[in-house]
Amino acid sequence: MSESSHAHAIHRDDFGARLGMWLFLVTEMVLFGGLFIAYSYMRSKYPAEFHHAGAELNATLGITNTLVLLTSSLTVVLAIVAIQRGDRRKTMAFLATTLGLGLVFLVIKSFEWATKFHHGLYPNSAHLATLPHGEQVFFGLYFTMTGLHGLHVIAGLSVLGYMLRMVAKGEITQDRYVHLENGGLYWHLVDVIWIFLLPLFYLAA
């Protein structure tokens, strides 16, 4: 009973927390994995239509957003290095950078979608109904997968925004930062999903 005599004998299991997060993340991987498999099958069925519809997408915006997300992933992991060294100001600066980059991603994405909408390309639009079946499938997958990914970006930004608050309030510290690690893990998964979306829709279609 030596632990109970300790002033701060709170049960904590950082490894268990990370394991729980990873178990959640693998369900996310299966969710997107299923969509990737759907994409692969449809692409093998409609190669010409996917090629034609893919030319409609703006590769420059896709590549820019890839660099934005890769950099935001770096700043999250640097925030963890900073908290491990007890540098709270740097942790907050790196996290704020990540939040800013995540917002840049969403702004670019919204411009991209707005252009598509302007061209009459949105789910269930009259123009989309006139396109060949394979192109309808392509845009269906495009809006589903980038839309679901976009929701994950918004969720990730909310989580990391809360982490920034916790660091500011001193609830995440050098000795206890598993929340920040798990928030970062989620953000990296969002990045990994986009790493696959870029070539699927913008480059190889």
Partner 1 sequence: MSDHSLASSEHADDHGVEHPGYGTFVKVWLALVVLTGLLVLMSHFGQSYAVWGLLILTPIKAGLVFYFFMHLKYEGALLKGVVLVTLGTLLIFFALLFSDVAFR
Point out which residues bind partner 1 (CB under 8 A): 14, 18-19, 22-23, 26, 29-30, 33-34, 37, 40-41, 44, 51, 59, 63, 66-67, 70-71, 73-74, 76-78, 81, 84-86, 174, 181, 184-185, 188-189, 191-192, 195-196, 198-200, 203-204
Q: Smallest distance from the beta carbon of 26 to partner 1, in angstroms?
A: 4
105 vs 128, beta carbon nearer partner 1: 105
Q: How far apart are the first and last CA of the chain?
A: 63
Other residues' Cβ atoms within 10 Å of the Cβ of residue 73: 21
Q: Smallest distance from the beta carbon of 160 to partner 1, in angstroms?
A: 14
The CA R_g of the chain, rounded to the nearest whole Å, is 21
The answer to whether 50 touches 42, Cβ cutoff 8 Å, is yes
**In angstroms, rounded to a whole number, what is the distance separating the alpha carbons of residues 173 and 87?**
9
Q: Smallest distance from the beta carbon of 144 to partner 1, in angstroms?
A: 18
Q: Smallest distance from the beta carbon of 55 to partner 1, in angstroms?
A: 11
84 vs 144, beta carbon nearer partner 1: 84
**In angstroms, rounded to a whole number, what is the distance separating the alpha carbons of residues 109 and 37?**
24
108 vs 122, beta carbon nearer partner 1: 108
141 vs 189, beta carbon nearer partner 1: 189
The answer to whether 38 touches 141, Cβ cutoff 8 Å, is yes
Listed in sequence order, the DSSP H helices in 169-204 are: 178-197
Q: Which residues pair with 176 in a beta bridge?
A: 173
Q: Smallest distance from the beta carbon of 161 to partner 1, in angstroms?
A: 20
97 vs 125, beta carbon nearer partner 1: 97
Q: Which residues pair with 173 in a beta bridge?
A: 176
